[in-house]
């Protein structure tokens, strides 16, 4: 079972695709992820919306899910209130170079910096990179 660090109602949290997929796919982390975001405004860079579709496409190609399951997952995704924001590309590219990471991860870090919001991710590499530049993290632990 997972537990989480409480972040408090009314806070903004930047979420990535790993979090959204874990919730949609009923992964073991789901209860803690939901608990940690109750009352929060979920925010993400705009690309996360498209990355969700790509994730389901990959699952379909690997025959991990059926097309009907993918459609149901997309319906579930559409019920999650996420505010999508554009990210400054120059800032993201600078972070990518500074941290030696892909720009997709840099977009999430840039979003957290710009919004002065903690980041919630299940990606350990992204967590590590975010910590290097002082981004606060929403802690999910076993």
pLDDT digits (tens, 9 = 90+) for 82-132: 999 999 999 999 999 999 999 999 999 999 999 999 999 999 999 999 999
Q: What is the mean pLDDT of residues 44-54?
A: 96
Contacts of 138 (CB under 8 A, 6+ apart): 4, 5, 7, 13, 36, 37, 118, 119, 120
pLDDT number for residue 22: 95
| pLDDT the model gives residue 139 | 87
Stated pTM of the model = 0.89
pLDDT at 71 over 90: yes
Contact (Cβ atoms closer than 8 angstroms) between residue 140 and residue 123: no
3, pLDDT greater than 80: no
pLDDT, mean of residues 6-21: 84
Three-class SS of 73-140: HHHHHHCCCEEEECCCHHHHHHHHHHHCCCHHHHHHHHHHHHHCCCEECCCHHHHHHHHHCCCCECCE
Under a CB-based contact definition with an 8 Å cutoff, are residues 129 and 105 in contact?
A: yes
The whole-number pLDDT of residue 1 equals 25
Tell me the per-residue pLDDT of 52-61, one tens digit each, with 9 for 90 and over: 999 999 999 9
Domains of the chain and any CATH numbers: 3-141 (3.40.50.1010)
pLDDT value of position 141 = 58
Distance between CA atoms of 121 and 128, rounded to whole angstroms?
Answer: 11
At CA 70, angle to CA 66 and CA 71, rounded to 5? 120
């Amino acid at each position: 079972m997972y537990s989480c660090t409480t972040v408090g109602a009314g806070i903004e949290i930047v979420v990535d695709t790993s979090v959204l997929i874990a919730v949609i796919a009923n992964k073991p982390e789901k209860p803690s992820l939901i608990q940690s975001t109750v009352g929060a405004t979920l925010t993400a860079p705009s690309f996360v919306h498209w990355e969700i579709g790509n994730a389901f496409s990959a699952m379909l190609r690997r025959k991990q899910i059926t097309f009907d399951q993918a459609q149901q997952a997309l319906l579930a995704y559409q019920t999650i209130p996420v505010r999508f924001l554009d990210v400054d590309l120059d800032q993201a590219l600078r972070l990518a170079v500074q941290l030696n990471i892909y720009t997709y991860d840099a977009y999430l870090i840039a979003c957290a910096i710009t919004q002065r919001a903690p980041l919630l991710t299940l990606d350990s590499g992204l967590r590590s990179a975010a910590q290097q530049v002082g981004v606060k993290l929403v802690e999910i632990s076993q």
